[in-house]
Amino acid sequence: MTTSAEDRSGSQGSYVEPGEFKRDTNYITTRITADGRDGYPAEAGRYRLVAARACPWANRTLIVRRLLGLEDALSLGLCGPTHDKLSWTFDLDPGGVDPVLGIPRLRDAYLARFPDYPRGITVPAVVEIATGQVVTNDYPQITLDFSTEWTEFHRDGAPDLYPAHLRDEIDEVAHRNFTEVNNGVYRCGFAGDQDAYERAYARLFTRLDELTERLAGQRYLVGDTITEADVRLFTTLARFDPVYHGHFKCNRTKLSEMPVLWAYARDLFQTPGFGDTTDFGQIKTHYYAVHRDINPTGVVPVGPDLANWLAPHGREQLGGRPFGDGTPPPPPRAGEEVPALG
């Protein structure tokens, strides 16, 4: 079995291998749908979303769950920012056990369904509470299904993050951002030789320059409202200066030195659902403490100063309606808050 790039950046520690860093995208593709065609119908209270605030892929599910108002239908279990070689763990909970699933490790839910599960234990994952079995860890599909298959449980005023008439463009933009940016920072950070690193570095900043041009004249990536494409880009941008610039050697320029992207990221951060699901402390702890082959000492840097995320961004001048015909989500539920900046 080859260890996946997702695993190297998350559940199984990190490994620098010769050549270009390649991501294993073989996930558990079972879907939770309105009609239950895979055997798992969308039902309130049946499932638990297991995430970690440190992980950019899991962070997406936290944002979308908040924006759509799925808190009553889908409970949340949070793993801590660090883990061992076996699994993400529930070390934030009393006794290190998830209070709903009754397990200390996310691995237990994977093995409950697949006793010989051969791949990394990744977040996010959706677990069926009654059986204790993982249903899916297919993170790109999870958020799309939140938007399209869980509509019965959306809050009043939930935005349409995946509007039908824009889906082709959203998919195209999101795919390009995945290959060049979301995954691109990992190709830089885990490159096994100089040539692979320099190729990844060039591709990353080429795409960031393209995004600068795209966003210079429009507030959001696709259309005039927040969509799935913005959610997916934001979680990488939020980690850029605290982690990727130094830790992953993505150091041509900081995000805060790219005026258009920096204003765009602050605009989203200051939008309910984005900044209030982003925990910079856990983000830094995860990357610097877990990736010991890149950061052998495990020392977590004190900087950068993150209060500037709250500075005015001026993007309102471009127009746009963040939630379209919908409304902002209410404040985070008690126990789901993140530390405030400043």
Both tokens of 307, joined, read 């209060």
- Assess whether the previous peptide bond of 124 is cis (omega < 30° from 0): yes
- Alpha-helical regions (H) of 114-258: 139-148, 167-177, 184-189, 194-215, 228-238, 245-247
Strand order in the sheet with 133-136: 75-78, 47-51, 125-128, 133-136
Query: Residue 165: what residue type?
Result: H
Radius of gyration of the chain (CA): 19
Instruction: Give the single-character DSSP code of 216.
Output: T
Structure tokens at 245: 């610039």
- Asked whether 166 and 222 are in contact (CB, 8 A), the reply is yes
Query: Active-site residue among 139, 186, 197, 287?
Result: 186
Annotated catalytic residue: which of 40, 47, 55, 188? 55
> CA of 134: how far to CAs of 107, 112, 303, in Å?
9, 7, 37
Token digits of residue 334: 């008690």
Distance CA 147, CA 51 (A): 18
Question: How far apart, in whole angstroms, are the C-alpha atoms of residue 7 and residue 30?
Answer: 20
Contact 137, 122 (CB under 8 A): yes
> Does 139 participate in catalysis according to the annotation?
no
Task: Name 312's Cβ contacts closer than 8 Å, sequence gap at least 6.
Answer: none
Annotated active-site positions, please?
Answer: 55, 186
